[in-house]
Chain A
């Protein structure tokens, strides 16, 4: 699909409006309920342990570039940094994407400033390692072993290096919290980390941690959209079984000639 087709255009627009509407509603005082996410409540515990042991904390925002996943991961890590700053612990953040260095520096510095500990922030703790996947993994493994980190927070896009990082941290006895939208890496984190947040919990994490109206509203919007999509899937399945392909055609790759065409079966494979 090079451009939005008629139905997709309206569906995406509707979803966007629902999310923004919920954000505005939350900013005006409506507070949606948010359930407990064990992996995120463990942040204080993990940071506290690092303080007790006198060892640093290691975070990673994965292999992504400056994209949505990485920025969300950075937002979560920034919250971890705020806790670390409050406890007076050192946070190491090796990054894989060079363009992320100034962005991460800025975000983490803000977190330390907000916690009233600007002195505890060290620029060299936000470190570019390598743009190469396994050189980055080897670099992190080295830091984990040399610094004997007490806790790791792994959020973002991960590939095969996930297990290299998590197992090395496991070897030094670090308490580990991980979260990734990369579904293929979730099993690796589950076997080697103490807490794993799964799927869209990743996008709900900042709302959970900060309880800020904007983020809480966004989360409520996401859930509404999800409900709507599930309803569409259900209705679509029923209608398709009855040989009425209208819902499937709504998500078609191209504009259909007329309104009536949406109710007719489309050519094979479309």
Chain B
């Protein structure tokens, strides 16, 4: 009994470098050796996201409207956000919906969004200008007045596309003039950029615009109240959400590929927490044993 308790007490103070090594191994190994992992359960928020896009695409009165896909993230969170963007793009392109990319958090978002769209465009026969457009990047401070002004004149206020071509001359923008011509907003974000859409754009037209959110997993808890209030019509929470969406689309991508490392690394955290607590209780027990002696 006593040696086991002593061993457990030692388990309370594992050097942090050992912890880091364990995590690195747990993430790397399932990528090399194929470890079995069951499919992930789909959350109601992801299902609602999927349903919103399906309903929009199936509605002949709305499907000609433009979808705004905001890629407000940098390379740091691209594992989560880029996977979400690609999953959403699969759905939009599969349903042949027209969309505009836009970024205002970091210029990296402009490039990452563009790269994702170009990667998938050939597969779905999408052509830049005809089927989608890129509004480019705007500094964060200038976006609030831009969105307020764009409510009544989108091409006039956004001005040119990423290549410097006036939006009014781009085929996919024909018929897109005001907030009422926007069908959906999809915000992929690594920081708090969603509020601008909700405060200044979502509900100023004739109808509220369905708004979908793809935050990093850490940010997701902040958004649950917005789902309850109906200000959000769906959410993909981090890489988990992207993986669930890949499953819904039956389109395995990066998310499905890293499901095993994601699962096992979080399991490692659970095991380490358990070990730390077992050590704490063992220490108490050991102290009691010593007192009794």
Any B CB within 8 A of the CB of A263:
no
Any A CB within 8 A of the CB of B230:
yes
With beta carbons under 8 angstroms apart, the residue of B191, B208, B221 that contacts A159 is: B191
Any B CB within 8 A of the CB of A113:
no
Number of A-B contacts (CB under 8 A): 33
Any A CB within 8 A of the CB of B204:
yes
- Alpha-carbon gap, A1 to B148, bound state (A): 9
Any B CB within 8 A of the CB of A210:
no
* Contact digits for B24-53, partner A, Cβ 8 Å, 1 yes 0 no: 000000000000000000000000000000
- Alpha-carbon gap, A183 to B223, bound state (A): 11
> Which chain B residues lie closer than 8 Å to A1 at the CB level?
199-200, 203-204
Q: Would A133 and B218 be within 8 Å (CB), given that A2-B204, A159-B191, A253-B204 are in contact? A: no
Any A CB within 8 A of the CB of B194:
no
Nearest CB of chain A from residue B92's CB, rounded to whole Å: 23
Interface of B is mostly: loop
* Contact digits for A24-64, partner B, Cβ 8 Å, 1 yes 0 no: 00000000000000000000000000000000000000000
Cross-chain contact B148 with A2 (CB below 8 angstroms): yes
- Alpha-carbon gap, A124 to B221, bound state (A): 39
Nearest CB of chain A from residue B4's CB, rounded to whole Å: 28
- Alpha-carbon gap, A216 to B8, bound state (A): 51
Q: Would A160 and B218 be within 8 Å (CB), given that A2-B148, A65-B141, A270-B208 are in contact? A: yes
Cross-chain contact B221 with A134 (CB below 8 angstroms): no
Report the nearest A residue to B77, measured CB to CB.
Answer: A160
With beta carbons under 8 angstroms apart, the residue of B16, B199, B218, B230 that contacts A184 is: B218
Nearest CB of chain A from residue B267's CB, rounded to whole Å: 19
Report the nearest A residue to B151, measured CB to CB.
Answer: A2
Using a CB-CB cutoff of 8 Å, which residues 74-115 of chain B contact chain A?
Answer: 74, 76-77
* Contact digits for A159-191, partner B, Cβ 8 Å, 1 yes 0 no: 110000000000100000000001110000000
* Interface residues on chain B, number (Cβ under 8 Å): 21
Cross-chain contact A270 with B203 (CB below 8 angstroms): yes
Cross-chain contact B222 with A183 (CB below 8 angstroms): yes
> Which chain A residues lie closer than 8 Å to B222 at the CB level?
183-184
Cross-chain contact B204 with A269 (CB below 8 angstroms): no
- Alpha-carbon gap, A133 to B108, bound state (A): 13
Nearest CB of chain B from residue A130's CB, rounded to whole Å: 13
- Alpha-carbon gap, A148 to B77, bound state (A): 29
- Alpha-carbon gap, A270 to B208, bound state (A): 7
Residue among A160, A182, A183, A184 having the largest count of chain B Cβ atoms under 10 Å? A184
Any A CB within 8 A of the CB of B219:
yes
- Alpha-carbon gap, A133 to B192, bound state (A): 14
- Alpha-carbon gap, A133 to B218, bound state (A): 16
Cross-chain contact B76 with A160 (CB below 8 angstroms): yes
Nearest CB of chain B from residue A203's CB, rounded to whole Å: 18
> Which chain B residues lie closer than 8 Å to A65 at the CB level?
141
> Which chain A residues lie closer than 8 Å to B218 at the CB level?
160, 184
Report the nearest B residue to A167, measured CB to CB.
Answer: B16
Nearest CB of chain A from residue B74's CB, rounded to whole Å: 8
Nearest CB of chain B from residue A213's CB, rounded to whole Å: 33
- Alpha-carbon gap, A184 to B77, bound state (A): 15
Report the nearest A residue to B147, measured CB to CB.
Answer: A2
Nearest CB of chain A from residue B172's CB, rounded to whole Å: 26
> Which chain B residues lie closer than 8 Å to A160 at the CB level?
76-77, 190, 216, 218
Report the nearest A residue to B108, measured CB to CB.
Answer: A132
- A contact set with B: CB distance below 8 Å: 1-2, 65, 133-134, 159-160, 171, 182-184, 253, 269-270
> Can you show 24 pairs from A to B with CB atoms below 8 A apart?
A1-B199, A1-B200, A2-B148, A2-B200, A2-B204, A65-B141, A133-B74, A134-B76, A159-B190, A159-B191, A160-B77, A160-B190, A160-B216, A171-B16, A182-B192, A183-B222, A184-B221, A184-B222, A253-B203, A253-B204, A269-B208, A269-B230, A270-B203, A270-B208
- List 8 tightest A-B contacts by C-beta distance, closest first: A253-B203, A269-B208, A2-B148, A184-B218, A184-B219, A184-B222, A2-B204, A134-B76
